[in-house]
Amino acid sequence: MRTIAAALAGYLIGTIPSADIAARLASRRRGPSDLREAGTGNPGALNAAKTLGWKWGALVLAGDMGKGVLASIGGRRVAGANGAYAAGAAAVIGHCLPVWSRFRGGKGVATSAGTSLVCFPAYAPADVALATGLSFLSRGRAELSAGITSAVFVVAATYWWAAKRKNAWGPEPTAGLPLYALASSALIIQRLLSAPPPIESYDGAETPAEAARLPMEAPA
């Protein structure tokens, strides 16, 4: 029951709409009020940086990662190691499929990174290094980069559990570790593969935010 409670809490934390909050605040400065209708159509940090500016993108990134950290820490306090893994996976699900937004969420990469800092810190540095290197080598092909990174993440989690290796400051590796890695990774891959094409151009600009900054024609 405690593990279920941790997972439920993790899901609710994951649904906190970081990108929506940023977009609404930025819309006061003539930016788009809904990132689902601008840029790539994804309510995440990269689209926020593209349509709202890098400062807003950084805030969204911090918020999304923070959700993963908070959910995993809370889950561990509620139900120990398995609670951390359940809450971490649920936070990624909540970010990708938030019930409050008709299950139209982000891709879960930043939130998953936040959970790994708590759930799998022993591998987190290698995960970041691998993801960064593959992003350059794949020349922006996010699906390929994420697919390889996720597969290695699951294999590493399985090895850490089977070999009973130390997990730095993280929870004890249990069967929940590879299950957490598999669930979160599978959802991220699914979201990347099913992502819709970018929003079409708007009055010659790539996004509504850019269109708003274009000179307006004088009335006849």
Say what the pLDDT of residue 10 is.
98
In angstroms, the Cα distances linking 192 to 51, 53, 98, 158 are: 19, 23, 16, 23
Structure tokens at 117: 């800092």
In angstroms, the Cα distances linking 14 to 49, 62, 93 are: 20, 13, 7
Say what the pLDDT of residue 115 is.
98
CA 199 remoteness from chain centre: 20
Range picked from 31-35, 39-43, 111-115 for highest mean pLDDT = 111-115
Q: Is the dihedral of CA 132, 133, 136, 139 positive or negative?
A: negative
Q: Give the CB-side neighbour count of residue 203, counting CA atoms within 13 A.
A: 11
Say what the pLDDT of residue 32 is.
65
Give ∠ CA 67-34-191 in degrees, rounded to 5.
55
Q: Rg for the chain (alpha carbons), in Å?
A: 19
Say what the pLDDT of residue 140 is.
63
Q: Is the dihedral of CA 64, 68, 69, 71 positive or negative?
A: positive
Summary mean pLDDT of the chain = 87
Q: Which of 219 and 195 is assigned the larger pLDDT?
A: 195
d(CA 161, CA 120): 11
d(CA 94, CA 110): 13
Rounded to an integer, the average pLDDT of 163-178 is 97
Length of the chain: 220
What are the domain boundaries of the chain? 2-198
d(CA 211, CA 56): 18
d(CA 57, CA 45): 5
Which of 45-54, 101-110, 136-145, 193-202 is predicted least confidently?
193-202
In this model, does residue 209 exceed pLDDT 80?
no
Residues with Cβ within 8 Å of residue 129, at least 6 apart in sequence: none
d(CA 180, CA 176): 6
Structure tokens at 85: 């893994």
